[in-house]
Structure 1
Amino acid sequence: MKTDSIFYRIFKTDPGILFELLGQSPEAAQGYEFKSVEIKQVAFRLDGVFLPTPEAVDQTVWFVEVQFQRDPVFYQRFFSEIYLYLNLHPDTIDWQAVVIYPKRSIEPDYPHVFRANLNSDQVHRVYLEDLEEAVDSLGVGLMQLIVADSAKTVTQAQALLSRAQSQEQTNPRFAAIMELIETIVVYKFPQLSREEIESMLGLSELKQTKVYQEALNEGEQTGEARLVLRQLTRRIGDVAPELRSQIQALSLDQIESLGEALLDFSEPADLVQWLRGNRSE
């Protein structure tokens, strides 16, 4: 199973899950974007980096690595990538690092030379085998599903779906969690078709519910708003927080219209004028 890509997709969908794993509030993820960062000079790539947005109060950069294969020189590579990034970004205010292992036996023996890093409060190691079986967090439940035995996968997936449905999350996260559960099961049962898995988990009926459809539509709207905001930043510079809020409140049709209109923008005043003429009712 391509565990790395699934983990990074989870963090992309819901960054708060990382902080839940560390015993912190998922609200700590507000103001972060999860990205892959390439260190071009040496052809290194940091697969998981939580980069703070310019307006975020906390400007700490979080480096995240998922390590499911034993690698005796893992720490040499990991810390090299981090310090190369810091060298190329001297304006970095602070940093934290998280390594996620399925179990303790995967972690390589680390030499004395790394004691300053591994014993500091900047480096966190998470062992999924240590997670409590009964948790209220859907995000942590996804982590448990990834490392579950095949015999328990379907039962755990159904329990997660039931928990998500009972919480009636009428927001993008509900639809995203369902899609992630399905993706994990697809990877764990490659011999089954997606239709067979949907039938096995009862997803076909669940996807027809009003709650799912509303969440799916809102998720699409949120994704489009993020894309337009990135385009606006490139076009007219940083978008003020109050304007960001107005954009996020637009309907999907309005966001699509803004995506076309912004091609003619040259300054923030153009955005302000467009929003005044296209307020949501």
Structure 2
Amino acid sequence: MKTDHWFYGLFQSAPDLIALLLPQVVAEAPSLGPDASGDALYRFEAPELKAANHRLDGAFWPKSGEAGTPEQPVALLEVQMFSKPGFKHRLLAQTARFLQLNPQVLHLAVVVAVPHRRLKLGPAQLPQQLQVFLDGVIWLSLEELGQQADLDPWLTLLTLPVRPEAELPASTQQILEHRPDLLSTVLTMLFERFPTLSPEEIMVIAGIPTDQLLHTRAAQDLLDRGRQEGEAQGEAKVTLRQLNRRCGPLSEATTARIQALPLEQLETLAEALLDFSGPADLTAWLEEHKG
């Protein structure tokens, strides 16, 4: 299940959602509505830490200033949905790198969202300095979050990737009852969580009446976009297979960059690679077509 870009889109559209995850900020969190951007506490970006070739899942800058304050710290967000033995070490390294690149930051909070606390993210024994750092991290278990009563609809949204399928109709209805404008966001998550299911099957899981979906413009746009993304994913798989044969094994960063290309550029790359003689040609093509 690929959820990283869903989380990215969600936090990009509502950066103040981070305030609901920071105990020292939650009391000041504004209403997270489409008309509340003028009073936002945070702005969102996903900076790339080039030296380590790591892209942070999210950096949230308070409007009070880039140094942050104890009440509104600069916040780093990482979403880790799968076991990764070296994650805790990498988390410390990229946090330190972020502070190195942003020496103006004086107050920092690090939030890590995981599906549950059973996830294996490092060895049992850790260096003392690393453990001290990890003790200050805010660990958000989506499983535990989903067990809380009377959740804010935005927080319920965060739990959709991990909720048991039987709970999804009630959860989606709880969200849409209070925030019907979040229908597209809910459907996006369900389409990504269940990529092999038809729109009709997704509607059953979400507890959304067929007539409501078919007459919702946002939902129709989402279905069209889903079909286009499906075509792009298929084209990307074929193109990557050909590039690995012609240019040698590709790095994770290069693979991710190619997978993110729109369908039109993927088709152009599929034609251009026939003239590639090595990895240098691919690098040059990507540089020429970046942005």
TM-score bracket for the superposition, by shorter chain length: 0.5 to 0.7
- In structure 2, the CA distance between the partners of 1:203 and 1:88, relative to structure 1 (3 Å rule), is farther
Q: Secondary structure in 2 aligned to 1:65?
A: strand
What is the SS of the residue equivalent to 1:147?
A: coil
The one-letter amino acid paired with 1:43 is: N
Counterpart Cα distance in 1 of 2:183 and 2:139: 27
User: Is the 2:40–2:63 contact (alpha carbons within 8 Å) kept by the matching residues of 1?
Assistant: no
Give unpaired runs (5+ residues) of structure 2: 32-38, 219-291
Q: Are 2:199 and 1:185 aligned?
A: no
Contact 2:66–2:104, Cα closer than 8 Å, also in 1: no
RMSD over aligned Cα, in angstroms? 3.2
Gaps of 5+ in 1: 166-174, 213-281
Distance in 2 of aligned mates of 1:5 and 1:110: 32
In structure 1, what is the equivalent of residue 167 of structure 2?
152
For the 8 Å contact 1:99–1:126, the answer to whether it is kept is yes
Q: Which residue pairs with 1:201 in the alignment?
A: 208
1:66 corresponds, among 76, 79, 94, to 79
Displacement of 1:193 in angstroms is 3.7
**How many Å apart are 1:21 and its aligned residue?**
3.1
- Is the Cα–Cα contact under 8 Å of residues 43 and 63 in structure 2 kept in the other structure? yes
Residue number among 36, 50, 54 corresponding to 2:60 in the alignment: 50
Worse-matched range after superposition: 150-159 or 86-95 = 150-159
Equivalent runs, 1:1-281 vs 2, <5 Å: 1-23=1-23, 24-25=26-27, 26-27=29-30, 30-53=40-63, 58=68, 60-108=73-121, 109=124, 111-113=126-128, 114-120=130-136, 123-131=137-145, 132-165=147-180, 175=181, 177-194=182-199, 197=202, 201-202=208-209, 205=212
The one-character-per-residue Cα deviations of 1:34-77 (angstroms, maximum 9, x if unpaired) are 11101223322112111234768946321100111111111111
Distance 1:151 1:39 in 2: 40
Q: Which residue of 1 aligns with 2:251?
A: none
How far apart are 1:186 and its partner, in Å?
A: 1.1
Q: Give the Cα separation in 2 of the matches to 1:56 and 1:179.
A: 32
SS at match of 1:50: strand
Shift of 1:181: 0.6
Structure 1: which amino acid aligns with 2:115? P
Give TM-score, length-normalised by structure 2: 0.59
Cα gap change, 1:180 to 1:203, in 2 (>3 Å): farther
Q: Deviations over 1:102-125 (max 9, x none)?
A: 1110043461432221223xx211
